[in-house]
Amino acid sequence: MQYTDAEDGSPAISGLTRVIEEDRCTLRWIWPSGIEAVYIGKAAAEQAVDSNRNSEQLKLYTKAEYKANNGYHSRIEGVGIYVFTVYACRESSDGPQLIVQPGRENRIEISAGRAKIHYSVSNKSGLFRKFKTVQIQVTTEVPIAKDVLCYVKKQGSYPANKEDGMLYPFVAPFAAGKNVLPPIEIGKQDFIRLFFTDGRTYGQIYELISV
């Protein structure tokens, strides 16, 4: 399989749209003249599709199949956001050539639902101690990278957002299931809450729930 950058006059996919009904998604697009087949790539949004095309799952789909099915149908499974890319396909002596469109009109994102991340922060302190011991527990439906979450410490009250106090990163990824972090000591008047490091990005993929 070969990828080739689009040039002036190259066949290009346009008008790519999606329709989602329950657990099924339908893609439709305008076929360029002379193209009888496409390859449809699917990859998780957090993967760099353009720089790591080996991460894509590719499926050959013909114009005849498209007409018979009134589009391309795919089940929505799992969690997170997926990127679908429809590549116009040209045959060459070296095999199929997939046209890469720099304008990305042939790409579309589809949400498969958000994975739930539950967390709790428990405190233990002695009557005459200046500090209290905090235990953070994170339970997640899927593995998550260490840079997805952070915790923020604030004196006097719980932080309202990640800028409302001192931000600390996590040093290891979280496995699916229960993750009990090593205890930490903080001041008696300090309070901790977890946040996404990038709410706009990760809030579309995960749901962070305090328990």
The 3-state DSSP class for residue 68 equals helix
Among 104, 39, 46, 54, residue whose Cα is nearest residue 79: 46
Strands 14-21 and 81-92: unpaired
Domains of the chain, with CATH numbers?
A: 2-111 (2.60.40.10), 115-210 (2.60.40)
What's the pTM value of the predicted model, to 2 decimals? 0.64
- Residue 176's φ and ψ, nearest 5 degrees, are -60, 140
Q: How far apart are CA 201 and CA 80, in angstroms?
A: 11
Q: How far apart are CA 196 and CA 199, in angstroms?
A: 5
Do residues 86 and 40 lie in contact, with contact meaning Cβ atoms separated by under 8 Å? yes
Do residues 44 and 92 lie in contact, with contact meaning Cβ atoms separated by under 8 Å? no
Q: 44 pairs with which residues across the strands?
A: 82
Count Cα atoms within 13 angstroms, Cβ side, for 103.
11
Q: 194 pairs with which residues across the strands?
A: 151
pLDDT digits over 125-176, tens only? 877 788 899 999 999 988 899 999 999 999 999 999 999 999 999 999 999 9
pLDDT digits over 82-141, tens only? 899 999 999 887 888 999 999 889 999 888 888 899 999 998 887 778 889 999 999 998
pLDDT digits over 44-69, tens only? 776 544 445 666 789 999 999 999 99
